[in-house]
Amino acid sequence: MEETIKIKEWINCYSDVVILTSKTSSENLEAGKALLLSLRKLNKNATLLEAEDCLSIEKALKTTDKPPQADFLISIKEGGSKLSQLFYEKTSAGLNLFLKTDGKELKKEDIILKPLKQEQLLITVGIDCYEKVPFSLKEKSNFILNVDNKTSNQWFGDINLIEYDKSLDEISFEITKVLGEMFFEKEVQLNFPSPAVMSLFKKALSGLNFNKKLDILIAKLSHFDFIESKAQIADIKFILEKLTSGFFSFESFLLLWEQNSSPLAVKGVFYSKQNQENIEKIANVFPSEKKSNSLIFKTQNPGLQKTELQIINILS
């Protein structure tokens, strides 16, 4: 999606991210928690808040809509020196502050400039109108990413990721994929052995999707993907290691690829940390080899899509 490119740019801009959701449905909370975990893996200072709790606190404190009186605070550490006088002079270029002290000399490091307005990114999940955003968050947030699937949403964000035909889990996963790409790029260019493997990994990452019913992450690589990236089938092992490295919080993972043969055959790896029963279900249908929590298998199917649907039917 075009919006996800913009999302990547804005998430890069902020260290502090607040996710605001509503406790009116478990779907809201689950989608918010998934984003929270992904952002924290990116070392973002991420917080998950519930709108109802924030609004009730503001009401109890009788918060008004008055803006703060100042944007910055200048603090002066007196230490061994005592500030006796302060006056200022306005110039065409700006403002000069004059400080008179008694005692020790005042040093440059004793003067601190601190912004009073915290710069943060606000991600709303399942919040359909701006009025439901607490005033305190409106004042602190410089940018709003509005994530929702309701037709009642008023598109109040700077970016509006609104998709009526998808669940909030599916929409938040689109953001998680962007965060995953940012995470792996940050890891010293993923320590990739070659640009070809890097290219193949990005293709696998961009095509990730998940089956909500089965809670399975799915990636597919076509024969053309290998040709375009100049990667080899042997590079699949490295791709699988990265995709199951822990960034994506899924217990099960399916990776399918087209083997370079005539005719093309689809091979795959099914990985599951806990559900050995699903591994056995696939092993009973396809020629396979089991290794720990993984199953490597080969099919006679001519296409990736057909193989994916067949495996989903086997596991359903």
**What pLDDT score was predicted for residue 187?**
63
* CB 148, CB 126: distance < 8 Å: yes
Which among 265, 11, 51 is positioned nearest to 148, based on CA atoms?
Answer: 51
As a whole number of angstroms, the distance between CA 269 and CA 284 comes to 14
Which among 68, 21, 16 is positioned nearest to 42, based on CA atoms?
Answer: 16
The secondary structure of the chain in percent helix, strand, coil, rounded to multiples of 5, reads 40, 30, 30
CA 19 to chain centre: 11
Beta-carbon contacts of residue 143 (< 8 Å; ≥ 6 apart) = 10, 13, 14, 121, 122, 158
Q: What is the CATH number of domain 190-315?
A: 3.10.310.30
Domain 190-315 in the same topology as domain 2-63+117-176: no
Angle between helices 168-186 and 2-13 (to 10 degrees): 60
DSSP 177-212: HHHHHHHHHHTGGGG-S-HHHHHHHHHHHHT-EEET
As a whole number of angstroms, the distance between CA 47 and CA 29 comes to 13
Arithmetic mean of pLDDT, 219-230: 90
As a whole number of angstroms, the distance between CA 237 and CA 204 comes to 13
pLDDT in tens, 137-174: 888 888 999 999 999 999 999 999 999 998 898 898 88
**What pLDDT score was predicted for residue 71?**
64
Q: What residue segments make up the domains of the chain, in order of their start?
A: 2-63+117-176, 190-315
* CB 117, CB 140: distance < 8 Å: yes
Q: Which residue has the higher pLDDT, 8 or 250?
A: 8
Question: pLDDT confidence of 19, banded at 50, 70, 90?
Answer: very high
As a whole number of angstroms, the distance between CA 20 and CA 146 comes to 10
As a whole number of angstroms, the distance between CA 194 and CA 303 comes to 28
Distances from the Cα of 1 to the Cαs of 38, 50, 173, in angstroms? 19, 27, 12
Distances from the Cα of 103 to the Cαs of 83, 134, 177, in angstroms? 9, 47, 58
Tally Cβ neighbours within 10 Å of residue 119: 13
**What pLDDT score was predicted for residue 137?**
86
Q: What is the CATH number of domain 2-63+117-176?
A: 3.90.1640.10
Lowest mean pLDDT among 40-54, 72-86, 197-211, 275-289: 72-86
pLDDT in tens, 20-42: 998 888 889 989 998 998 898 88
